[in-house]
């Protein structure tokens, strides 16, 4: 039961991450390789605001989102001058820079030692400690975020973003400003990731930079590519699939000595097969270039 | 009533003069054709007007504002709309969405707009839907409304792009070969559309790039003839099309 609850909580956190990223990747058509950066900055700012500034959970999380949003603005301004492969490489650069800072700014982040003993969230006088409580907390945030993103994606803004994705020249010819619209999407997506980071940090009560590596950014992108982008079902399918598949592979009964490696290979093979069968993702409407 | 004035416009790419000292005047309330052989620089001139390409020298004035080298989205917001030679519909969006997105102005397109206009959202959406259907009907594509634009035929995509352009409410229309690749029936439809556009709203300015001289003859009042990046000839349609030089260079007669 605890195992199932733990998986559900992790799925919830990753759903928040992938729905946020979907705005940039699915609606904007931009492959961002630095989403884990915003996830990480959210986790660290939330944590530090609670531990060092003594802020309660909710203000710390929200202030963390604002700070991460500003950071996303700083990343987005130069990155969004590029498209296609160049954009991917620029975001990769930011991913590497921020990871290095998290890893080496020992005074602030304790670097590789990580930050242990992160306090549990206290909301309206109730300390969230039990798994089921945590599950409820994550679900509440998830519902709110998905509802907001649902409205945003179906708004004129979401439509304009899709237009830019499909043909930037034609969309610009209709008066859509690529810089403004992509930047909005990028900042919102960063802020949503920040929230997921705050939830993650207080859930596992320990963070270190290895949770926010390039691998993590790639994993988040893979969730969308597997599930399909540009709609509200794709991230759900992708997240559930990508988190449950490795868990399912545990039950194959492989001998312990080779199990992790074989699991990794089956995992990879499944992804390759999937891309052959459905290049647009399981629930996707279109294929990213 | 805004007209477009182009003054001594020049553009070179890779050392080649693609557009050279072009001066032209396009008046509202009429369709002015821009003709010339392949590679004459007609599409490039459109690219320069919409700032898709940077102007080297010269000036573009629309109404009483200079729009030279303004970012493309700002040129569009001044009222300059364009039908691309390569169509460029939003392929993964439905026909309806293609037209609907053209109906929204920039003030609707902030992420927070729906949250601060909860009550108005419904009437805004209804209004846009009505307008989008009006233009889809205008080009006879209403029954394709839920089809992804990429799944439509070439001719239908062209009509969709026209509907999208008209939904944008632009006052200057740059039409790059609206009838190319269409069958005769479709061409008749587009001709009817063009006449409808200009008779329904006398303040619109239309520039028509076209290789089909039948079409030019039928709808254009004035013609610019472009050759090797320069305006070689300008005059009334029958006059230009009847000119000996034009017939030799272009029509091969
Ligand atoms: N990016 C570029 N770099 C260099 N030359 C270019 C570039 N784009 C276009 N040209 C050249 O500019 C010239 C004018 O091209 P343009 O597309 O404006 O012609 P056009 O009059 O629209 O012809 P068509 O009737 O075939 O559409 C051509 O000779 C073309 O090869
Ligand atoms: Mg051309």
Please identify which residue in the block is written with the tokens 């001998």: A255
Q: How far is B239 from chain A (nearest CA, A)?
A: 34
Separate counts of helices (H) and strands (E) for chain B = 10, 10
Determine which residue's CA is closest to atom 31 belonging to ligand 1.
B39
Residues, CB within 5 angstroms of ligand 2 (ion): B 43, 85
**What's the pLDDT tens digit per position in B23-44?**
999 999 999 999 999 999 999 9
- Check CB contact under 8 Å for A172 and B88: no
Q: How far is A95 from chain B (nearest CA, A)?
A: 26
* Same domain, residue pair B115 and B70: no
* Same domain, residue pair B130 and B114: yes
**What's the pLDDT tens digit per position in A224-275?**
888 887 778 888 988 998 888 878 877 777 777 777 777 677 777 777 876 7
* Same domain, residue pair B244 and B200: yes
Separate counts of helices (H) and strands (E) for chain A = 12, 2
Mean pLDDT of B210-232: 91
Q: Is B247 a domain residue?
A: yes
* Same domain, residue pair B163 and B180: no
3-state DSSP helix/strand/coil percent for chain A, to nearest 5? 75, 0, 25
* Same domain, residue pair B166 and B177: no
The tally of domains found in chain B comes to 2
Quick one: tokens of A182?
């992509």
Given a contact cutoff of 8 angstroms between Cβ atoms, the answer to whether A25 and A153 are in contact is no
Picking from B123, B139, B170, the residue at the C-terminal end of a domain is B170
* Same domain, residue pair B201 and B161: no
Residue A149, classified by CB atoms within 10 Å of its CB into exposed (0-12), middle (13-18) or buried (19+), is: buried
Q: Is B206 a domain residue?
A: yes
Domain that holds residue B158: 89-170
**What's the pLDDT tens digit per position in A42-101?**
999 999 999 999 899 999 999 999 999 999 999 999 999 998 888 999 999 999 999 999
Quick one: tokens of B3?
């007209």
**What's the pLDDT tens digit per position in A209-224?**
999 999 899 889 888 8
Residues of A in Cβ contact (< 8 Å) with B100: 159
* Same domain, residue pair B26 and B145: no
What is the position in ligand 1's atom list of the atom closest to the CA of B44?
Answer: 18
pTM of the model: 0.91
CATH number at residue B43: 3.40.50.300
Q: pLDDT value at position B253?
A: 58
Is the pLDDT at A289 greater than 60, yes or no? no
Which positions ≥6 away from A62 have C-beta within 8 Å?
Answer: none
């Amino acid at each position: 039961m605890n195992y199932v609850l733990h998986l559900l909580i992790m799925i919830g956190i990753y759903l928040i991450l992938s729905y946020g990223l979907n705005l940039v990747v699915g609606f904007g058509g931009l492959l961002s390789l630095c989403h884990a950066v915003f996830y990480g900055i959210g986790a660290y700012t939330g944590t530090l605001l609670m531990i060092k500034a003594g802020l309660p959970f909710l203000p710390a999380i929200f202030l963390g989102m604002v700070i991460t949003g500003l950071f996303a603005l700083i990343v987005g301004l130069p990155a969004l001058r590029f498209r296609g492969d160049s954009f991917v490489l620029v975001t990769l650069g930011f991913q590497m820079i921020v990871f290095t800072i998290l890893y080496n700014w020992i005074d602030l982040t304790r670097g590789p030692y990580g930050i242990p003993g992160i306090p549990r969230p206290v909301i309206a006088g109730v300390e969230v400690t039990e798994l089921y409580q945590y599950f409820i907390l994550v679900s509440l945030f998830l519902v709110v975020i998905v509802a907001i993103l649902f409205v945003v994606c179906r708004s004129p803004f979401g439509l304009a973003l899709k237009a830019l994705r499909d043909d930037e020249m034609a969309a610009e010819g209709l008066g859509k400003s690529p810089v403004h619209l992509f930047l909005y999407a990028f900042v919102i997506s960063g802020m949503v990731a920040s929230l997921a980071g705050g939830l993650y940090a207080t859930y596992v009560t320990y963070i270190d930079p290895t949770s926010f590596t390039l691998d993590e950014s790639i994993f988040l992108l893979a969730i969308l590519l597997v599930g399909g982008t540009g709609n509200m079902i794709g991230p759900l399918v992708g997240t559930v699939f990508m988190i449950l598949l490795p868990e399912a592979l545990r039950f194959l009964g492989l001998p312990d000595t080779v199990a992790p490696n074989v699991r990794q290979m089956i995992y990879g093979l499944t992804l390759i097969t999937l891309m052959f069968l459905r290049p647009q993702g399981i629930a996707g409407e279109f294929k990213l270039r | 009533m805004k007209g477009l004035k182009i003054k001594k416009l020049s553009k070179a790419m890779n050392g080649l003069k693609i557009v050279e000292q072009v001066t032209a005047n396009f008046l509202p309330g009429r369709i002015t054709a821009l003709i010339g052989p392949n590679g004459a620089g007609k599409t490039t001139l459109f690219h320069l007007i919409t700032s898709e390409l940077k102007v080297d020298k010269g000036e573009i004035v629309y109404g009483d504002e200079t729009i030279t080298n303004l970012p493309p989205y700002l040129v569009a917001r001044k009222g300059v709309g364009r039908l691309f030679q390569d169509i460029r519909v939003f392929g993964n969006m439905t026909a309806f969405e293609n037209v609907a997105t053209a109906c929204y102005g920039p003030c609707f397109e902030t992420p927070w707009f729906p949250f601060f206009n909860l009550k108005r959202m419904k009437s805004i959406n209804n209004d846009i839907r009505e307008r989008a259907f009006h233009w889809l009907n205008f080009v006879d594509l209403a029954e394709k409304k839920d089809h992804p634009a990429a799944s439509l035929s070439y001719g239908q995509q062209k009509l969709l792009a026209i509907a999208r352009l008209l939904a944008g409410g632009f006052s200057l229309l740059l039409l790059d070969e609206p009838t190319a690749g269409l069958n005769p029936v479709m061409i008749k439809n587009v001709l009817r559309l063009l006449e409808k556009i200009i008779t329904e709203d006398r303040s619109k300015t239309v520039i028509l790039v076209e290789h089909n001289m039948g079409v030019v003859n039928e709808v254009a009042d004035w013609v610019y003839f472009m050759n090797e990046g320069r305006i070689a000839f300008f005059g009334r349609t029958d006059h230009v099309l009847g000119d000996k030089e034009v017939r030799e260079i272009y029509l091969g007669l």
